[in-house]
Amino acid sequence: MTVRRVVALPLLGALLTGCGIRATEVPTDFGAAPSRVPCSLTGPDLSAQSSRGVPVQVFLLCGASLVAVDRSVRVPEGTPDARRRVIVAQGLLDQLASSPSAAERSAGYTTYVPGGLAVSGPGPKDPEDALRLSAAPSRLTSYALAQLVCTLSDSAATEGDGSVILGGPEKGPLRRYECTDEVREHPGSTQPPSSGVTGA
């Protein structure tokens, strides 16, 4: 019995030692530490902004939610208000359709708004604050529609009440869309609330 104990003690010691993590002098290299928190830009991204223009914000997708980033849109001086709204709206669409800057991409930003999307003012029988797109809003992905609604509803292109009246080309139906907290937080699964709009 004594012999068994003498043999078992070294084996037990070896097992217990193997369970720990031994210090090592060998250097390890797992790459550089992350330089930026996802969805957080360290400062103004000047490459994504024009040197002159009206300061605006657009909503890009980062992670699973929409995040506002700064941009600018050029509007000629003396432009009438009705025309100004359309110029700002088109500038916002162009910014949304453009690829995010290198700094924004590295922080995790992306966009789902397709290129070539155009906007025009209201038709003859539309409310004066309506905007018509070259593609029907119903044909856009949920992400793209959420980006458009949240960007336009809080801009100089609309009345600034958190909503925007959008329609497709020509005489398609108009709907008033709202940007809510739920839409900003879950743009992929939450459609912007909307209601039908009659003509002026």
Number of H helices, E strands in the chain: 5, 8
pLDDT of residue 154: 83
Portion of the chain with pLDDT greater than 90, in percent: 58
Long-range CB contact pairs, 195-200, < 8 A, 24+: 197/127, 197/130, 197/165, 197/173, 199/125, 199/126, 199/127, 200/122, 200/125, 200/126, 200/127, 200/128
Q: Using CA atoms, how far apart are residues 57 and 67, in angstroms rounded to an integer?
A: 10
Q: What is the pLDDT of residues 18-72, one digit of tens each?
A: 445 454 444 444 443 444 457 877 655 554 554 468 899 999 999 899 999 999 9
Within 8 A by CB and 6+ apart from 184, the residues are: 59, 65, 66, 146, 150
Q: How many CA atoms lie within 13 A of 185 on its CB side?
A: 3
CA distance 43 to 63: 19
Tell me the pTM.
0.76
